[in-house]
Amino acid sequence: MYFSLLLVHSFFRWMVVLGLLYAIYRGIRGWVGKRSFTLADDRVRHITATIAHIQLALGYVLYFSSPMVAWFRGHYHEAIIQFDFFFFGLLHVVLMTIAVIVVTIGSSSAKRSVTNQGKFRIMTILFALGLLIIFIAIPWPFSPLANRPYIRTF
Query: Which pLDDT tens digit goes with each residue over 18-45?
Result: 999 999 999 999 999 999 999 999 999 9
Query: Which pLDDT tens digit goes with each residue over 48-101?
Result: 999 999 999 999 999 999 888 888 888 888 877 777 778 888 889 999 999 999
Please give the model's pTM, rounded to 2 decimal places: 0.88
Q: Please, are residues 69 and 63 in contact by the beta-carbon 8 Å criterion?
A: yes
